Amino acid sequence: MLLLRRIAIALVLSCASLVPAWATPLLLVDRDTLQVLYAEDAGQPWHPASLTKLMTAYVAFEEIAKGTVTLETPVTLSKYALSQAPSRSGLKVDTSVSLEDALYILIVKSANDMAVAIAETIGGNEASFVAKMNDVAQRMGLTATHFVNSNGLHDPRQVTTARDLAILSLYIEQSFPQYMQMFRTSVVRINGQKLESQNEILTTFAGAIGMKTGYVCASGLNLVADVDRNGRRLMAVVLGGSSGRDRNERAAELLLKGLSGSASGTGQNVLTLANAVGAAPVDMRPNICGKGAAEYVKAQEAVFPMGLKGQPSYLTDTIAAVEHVATDLGRMRTGIVLPRPRPAHIPAFPVQDVAENTATEASLRPGLELAGNPGIPYPRPRPVFR
């Protein structure tokens, strides 16, 4: 079947005078056993795009665990952070949010400015933070991964593989399960804005719990998707999709094959899966953003039409969006440390309960109302300092 699919792509692309990008990495992993259920070009070097932010988040989680920062540490948007290309948070220069809210915005909106702001907050500057990212990659055994920036904006030196991304995602879940709620979230609300995730699997595939999407011209459309269903815990990695539909439907197809047992295993463990270390990363730019992009997408649609108009789809479930409300702390003035401690009479959430207070700004955790002021939302927005 795979050979026939590639022959069909080659014939269509040949007619369009395009060079086919043979490697479209696919990987399906059982998250409990680490067994590789399906793999295609999983060790081929690839540009990660915004999947880079998985490592940005991991480094932040690790620094919180070390005690160098906390979830309440203010993250301030510098001019350099705001100079990053979209996607952006929509916040203004010198405004701040807590590190917790910054991480939600990073993961859900995939905001490039917030990635740099987090890097500057934790590392002092982005270069120092990137050194931490590469140190973690080395410790994890991500042998084909190298980072140059914190947000995934294209740099030809920034590379990874489907295998390495799967291992990174497994480490996030294993080491920091308390933050998995961030990856389940598909909407962040701040300052009247609704920042939405591009991960449509979260709201169209039952059991989806994350993790992240990514796109630049050189990478095509990338996705890491975790699903818990019927006692199975699976992960799909798709790199180089020709469209959001293509990427999402391919991931869903992989996951359904794993859930049904038709993808029963390769006999390999993801940790021992080989990387093509030293191989050049595939450059998808001509096929995704070049003059021949329309022909390439058309060819891919002919081979894999799932989800197109009039065609069946794997993404047919309706799942309520998980939302998080973030607070703009305003512009920071020198010498003022925010957030200030709350008054003693106001109860504070334990760290493990923070994720529970994410539905709307006006929602109350059961049993938590301010004394003498029933119905007043908690927590209240902090003052804006200018």
Of 63-67, 327-331, 365-369, which one has max mean pLDDT?
Answer: 63-67
188 beta partners: 195, 324
The pLDDT value given to residue 10: 44
Q: For all residues of the chain together, what is the average pLDDT?
A: 85
Q: By the 8 A CB rule, do 228 and 31 touch?
A: no
User: What distances in angstroms separate CA 167 from CA 35, 217, 288, 325, 338, one per listed residue?
Assistant: 12, 24, 27, 30, 36
Distance CA 258, CA 255 (A): 5
3-state secondary structure of 167: helix
The pLDDT value given to residue 53: 98
The pLDDT value given to residue 337: 52
Strand pairing report for 26-30 and 35-40: antiparallel
Distance CA 255, CA 245 (A): 15
Does 191 have pLDDT greater than 60? Answer: yes
The pLDDT value given to residue 359: 35
Q: Which tens digits make up the pLDDT trace of 293-342?
A: 999 999 999 999 999 999 999 999 999 999 999 999 998 644 445 454 44
Four-CA torsion 73, 77, 79, 83, nearest 10 degrees = 130
Does 349 have pLDDT greater than 80? Answer: no
Among the listed ranges 96-105, 215-224, 344-353, which one has the minimum average pLDDT value?
344-353
Distance CA 280, CA 44 (A): 8
| pTM assigned to the model | 0.81
The pLDDT value given to residue 367: 30
- How large is the average pLDDT for residues 336-360? 40
Alpha helices in the chain (DSSP H): 2-15, 52-66, 79-82, 99-109, 112-123, 126-140, 162-175, 180-184, 201-204, 244-260, 285-288, 293-303
- How large is the average pLDDT for residues 351-357? 36
Q: Which tens digits make up the pLDDT trace of 278-292?
A: 999 999 999 999 999
Does 194 have pLDDT greater than 90? Answer: yes
Distance CA 160, CA 143 (A): 8
The pLDDT value given to residue 265: 84
Q: Which tens digits make up the pLDDT trace of 133-147?
A: 999 999 999 999 999
Q: By the 8 A CB rule, do 254 and 235 touch?
A: no
Does 161 have pLDDT greater than 80? Answer: yes
The pLDDT value given to residue 23: 54
Distance CA 275, CA 271 (A): 10
The amino acid that residue 136 corresponds to is V
What percent of the chain shows pLDDT beyond 70?
Answer: 80
Among the listed ranges 11-25, 166-180, 251-265, which one has the minimum average pLDDT value?
11-25
